[in-house]
Amino acid sequence: MNKIYRLKSSKSFEYIHKHGKSFANSNLVLVYTPTKFNLKVGFSVSKKLGKAVIRNKVKRRLREGFRIMIPYLNPHYNYMIIARQAAAECDYHQLLSSLKHLLLKANLVENKQEFDKLK
């Protein structure tokens, strides 16, 4: 995923967490807020998930899954994806389907027919 799409500052994470709307399933939590700038996304993986290898693997999978979804999403929102404990045992396709489920549930997808075709 390009660096232009990444949330970096802790203030941004705090703002989204405090003012955002959230949707959750067993693997992930999606928190989002409107913005007047372009789309940005941040990923949060707690140390409770496991050691650094596991946390980084989960983050890499989430980043790649979100990267392929960017063209279908509403660009006027900032997103924060929080991994839950169950995400440590999930493979890429399970995380991708969890992410798709949350984005559809939050009604943040602009082109739903093309979005459903993602693998």
Show the tokens assigned to 106: 């939050």
pTM of the predicted model as reported, rounded to 2 decimal places: 0.90
Tell how strand 21-24 and strand 77-83 pair up: unpaired
Tens of pLDDT along 1-34?
Answer: 788 898 888 999 999 999 999 999 999 999 999 9
Distances, alpha carbon 1 to alpha carbons 26, 32, 72, 82, 113, in Å: 25, 18, 15, 17, 23
CA distance 90 to 47: 16
Tell how strand 77-83 and strand 40-44 pair up: parallel
Among residues 14, 92, 82, 2, the alpha carbon closest in space to that of 40 is found at: 2
Q: Whats the size of the chain, residue-wise? A: 119
Per-residue pLDDT for 113 more than 80? no
Tens of pLDDT along 51-94?
Answer: 999 999 999 999 999 999 999 998 899 999 999 999 999 999 99
